[in-house]
Structure formats: structure tokens, C-alpha cells
Structure 1
Amino acid sequence: MKAIKGILFDKDGTLLDYDESWLPVNRELARIASEGDPELADRLLLACGMDPVTGHIVPDSLLAAGNTRQISEGLIAAGSKLDAIELTIKLDDLFSHAAEFSVAVTDLAAFFGRLHARGFRLGVASSDNERSIRQTAQRFGFAPFIDYVAGYDSGFGTKPEPGMVLGFCAATDLDPSAVAVVGDNNHDLHMGRNAKVGVTVAVLTGTGSRESLAAASDYCLNDITELEGLLPDLQPA
């Protein structure tokens, strides 16, 4: 951790509590994709990784790690009759509005403010769309402290490709070896490994477990607040 100068966070399941924020959204997603057919909605949820009864999300499934286009394609493959472009637009709109009801894992404005004051360069890279990320940053008050935002539609490629990390490095003038990637599923961690970052950090506020995240993470934390004690002291930027 001594070489780390920049931290790139995933959003859902990392900054936001996944179950509290996304289980209701996933049910609405299935209602939209099924055009109100409850039986089909349940089948679509199962196919994309969510048990419609318990709400359990399979780690690294489409709903856990996919971007909007991938989720739309998966829903159509599982039986949705909607056009892929139409469904992607509808889901992006749903996800953008979902930012209004999300539940943060901690006081994100204070958390990012402390890291910023210590001199770390900070960013968010999500499989959600960029508009949703920026709305989340505004709503929870940490927008002034981040140097970089990337969604699946920002032009840097998608997880687990390294492009979002390399974009962060270009924006902050950091080498990947000086960057930590923090996320709740293997798409995040593999993105970091593919970019050859210094450290990959898993958190347990999302859809992954210690068992599912162990192989690709250097650290596995209960939540992002435990990160602060691991990081070196830097001079304020």
C-alpha cells in the first residue's frame, strides 16, 4: 500500500449498499423487460442472477457485474420481447433515477473528503452509465473530491477490460502501479489486474463473498471505511 497514490472505486456494492439500493431496482427492471408479466419477470430475474423469492444475487452474474447493454441482451436471450436498443434506453433511464433512492455504505462526502485531504487522487468506474455515477456523486456530496468518472458508456471500454483504469491513470498522471482498485465483484478486480495496478481491494457490501473474491484480491475488507487505516500518509494535493 505504501506506493498507492490514487484509488479507483466501483460504485454499486462498493460505495452503495447493493441489497438496499438495487434489489427494488432489479424487480422494476424485470417488470419493464417482461412488460408486466409476473411469471416472465421471475424467469428473467433467475436467468440474470437473482432469486426472485429471496433476492439473493449470484456473484459475478449479469445483475451483479454486467453493464446495461449486457443486461438487456441477457434479458432478451431469456425471453424479453423488447428490442435491445429500446430496452437499454429504458434501463439506463431506470438506473439514473435509481440514484435518488440509493443507500450509501458510509458518509461518502466525509469519506472522500478525508482521502482527498490526504492527497489521494480519486475516481469512480462503474458498469452503470456515466450520468448515474455523476448523479450519485452529486447526491451524496463527494463530487468535489473526485478527479475522474467512467461508466460503460464513457468510451473507455467495459469491465473487466483495463480501459477505465488506464483512463484514470491518464487523467491523474499516475502509473498503474500507484493505483488501487476497490470493488465488490471479480469484474472490478480483474479490471485492476488486467491494468497491472498496484493493489486490488475487495469489499463485502455487494454481491461477492470472501470465497468468490479471494483469488483476485490483495485485501478483502468488510467495507470501504477499513481502507483508510491501510493507506499511507500523503501530503495534501
Structure 2
Amino acid sequence: MTPDRTALRGILFDKDGTLVDYEATWAPINRRVAEIAARGDPTLAHRLLEIGGHDPAADRVRGGSLLAASHTREIAQAWIEAGADFALDDLSQQMDSAFAEGARNAVPVTNVAGLFDRLRARGFALGVATSDGAQAARATLARLDIDTDGLFVAGYDSGFGGKPEPGMVWGFCAATGLAPTEVIVVGDNLHDMEMATAAGCAAALGVLTGTGSEAELATKAHTVLPSIDALEPWLDQGR
């Protein structure tokens, strides 16, 4: 069913793979975090990356894998079970700190700040919902020169639950006064599409700048775009 684009009032973006190029941004961060979890043991670090879905040779992450779709505590728990010698809270804290530090080198997929300015000028309420921590999310947005005043930002640790649960969408709606039927979700992963569906959003749009393939995303998305550069033309269709 094609959504009524004239009724759309809000856009909730995923962060990694949607606003920033996933591989260019996260390949070095993933390697660093695995080294931390492995306490410098290269064999264990290699194993942890593989468990996370990161192919160390190709520097690519598999769609739907732990590193692609899960939040820090879920990754940390899996790595502890695989041999990382940490308590869960300790490893999660160190990973979140490394994620936030690495975000300073985030590679945007386009001029995201310009896109946000244009969408705001058109009257859209905007938000960012990520499986990353809120601190790292805000560090990334600062790197992208995005004005966060009035911008809804939710991480896995913001109290709304994680993807694919609907809580982040409902938090965005509560903050903006919008109904889910006035909101679209834009993301690179099936968890983003599933979150939109669970929340009752008008549409879920997939983008191909992250870990999800077109064939994979098409199973749950209303449509799949090459990148967020194609969002404005999509919004203009039918207006």
C-alpha cells in the first residue's frame, strides 16, 4: 500500500549505514573494539569479529549480524560467552567509549546536515534512532555538523528499548506530538524495517549504504532507495 506522502510529518533515521557509510566508518572501530574485548589476543580478536559478523579480510559486516543490528550489551554478552574475559558491565562500558571515540571519524554518505536543514524547512520533525549508545550517536551527529536542538536522538541506552521493538518510534512520536501513521523510518537493516512495522508507521524505507542487501530489505521495506540522497525525490512523488 502506497502511503499518503502529503500526510507525512516525521522522519526517523537510523544512523550507521544510513547517515554514515557503514564500512568506511565502522571497519576500524570494530577491529579496535574486538582488540579491547580480546585484551590484545589477535587470535581471539579475529574470532570475536567473525562471531560479530565482520569478515576481517574483506572488512565487511554481514547484514543482520550482531555488529550490524545488535546493541552494545548484546554484542558484549556474545563475546564474553566466546571467551572475552570481562564482566558484562565493564566490557559494555569500554565498548561504548570506543564507539563514541571512533564516531569522531564518521564518514557521511552525503551532506547530511544540508539534507536535515532542507527537511526541517519543509516542516518535517526529524529524529535519529540507533542501536549504538546515545553518547556515540551525539558524537557522530556533531561530526556531521548536525544541529541537535529539537532533534530526537535515541540509543539503545535511552530507555526506549532496542530494535526491532517499537519503543524508539513511540518515543519519537511522544516527543514530537505525531502519530506513527505520520512517520516514516529510514534505515539499512531489517531491524529498522521491523521496528517501523511494529510501531505502525506509515512506511519503512531501506537504503543500500549499510549492511542490508536490496533483496533482503525488499522483504520488509515499502521501498528500497540507493541512499538518503533519493529521499527527497521519493517524498515529492504524489505531492
Alpha-carbon deviations, 1:28-51, whole Å to 9, x = none? 111011111111111111111111
Residue 184 of structure 1: how far off its partner (Å): 0.5
- 1:88 matched to 2:92: yes
Match of 1:200 among 200, 204, 208: 204
Provide the C-alpha distance between the structure 2 equivalents of 1:201 and 1:50, rounded to a whole number of angstroms.
Answer: 24
Q: In the alignment, is the contact (CA less than 8 A) between 1:116 and 1:145 conserved in 2?
A: no
The CA distance in 1 between the partners of 2:187 and 2:106, in whole Å, is 17
The answer to whether structure 1 residue 76 and structure 2 residue 83 are counterparts is: no
CA RMSD in angstroms, aligned pairs only: 1.2
Would you identify which runs of 4 or more consecutive aligned residues in structure 1 move more than 6 Å?
none
Counterpart-to-counterpart distance in 1, 2:45 and 2:103: 23
3-state SS of 2:235 partner? coil
In the alignment, is the contact (CA less than 8 A) between 1:122 and 1:145 conserved in 2?
no
1:164 is aligned to 2:168: yes
Distance 1:145 1:210 in 2: 33
In the alignment of these two chains, the number of paired residues is: 233
- CA positional deviation for 1:232: 4.5
For residues 15 and 73 of structure 1, the distance between their equivalents in structure 2, rounded to whole angstroms, comes to: 27
Structure 2 contact 61–68 (Cα < 8 Å) conserved: yes
- For structure 1, the 5+ residue unaligned runs are none
SS of residue paired to 1:228: helix
For the residue of structure 1 that corresponds to 2:6, the secondary structure is: coil
From 126, 147, 150, the equivalent of 2:154 is 150
TM-score scaled by structure 2? 0.94
Q: Does 1:66 align with 2:70?
A: yes
C-alpha displacement at 1:79, in angstroms?
Answer: 1.7
Matched, 1:12 2:16: yes
Secondary structure at the aligned position of 1:119 is classed as coil
State the distance in 1 between where 2:58 and 2:148 align. 38
2: CA distance, partners of 1:147 / 1:171: 9
Q: How does 1:36-75 map to 2 (within 5 A)?
A: 36-75=40-79
Greater shift, 200-209 or 79-88, is seen at: 79-88
> In the TM superposition, what whole-angstrom CA distance separates every residue of 1:202-229 from its partner, at most 9, and x where no partner exists?
0000000011111110010110010011
Secondary structure class of the residue paired with 1:124: strand
TM-score normalised over the length of structure 1: 0.95
1:131 to 128, 135, 146: 135
What corresponds to 2:185 in structure 1?
Answer: 181
Conserved? CA contact 1:123–1:168, under 8 Å = yes
| Conserved 8 A contact 2:105-2:143 | no
Partner residue in 1 for 2:115: 111
> Quick check: 1:210–1:220 contact (8 Å CA) kept in 2?
yes
> How far apart, in 2, do the equivalents of 1:145 and 1:88 lie?
28
Tell whether 2:29 aligns with 1:25.
yes
Q: Gaps (5+ residues) in structure 2?
A: none
- Tell me the residue number matched to 1:210: 214
Q: Secondary structure at the match of 1:2?
A: helix
Identity fraction in percent: 49
Equivalent pair of 1:13/1:206 in contact (CA under 8 Å): yes
Decide whether the 8 Å contact of 1:112 with 1:145 is kept in 2. no
* Matching residue of 1:191: 195
Shift of residue 147, structure 1, vs aligned partner:
2.7
Once residues 55 and 167 of structure 1 are traced to their aligned partners in structure 2, the CA distance between those partners, rounded to angstroms, is 34
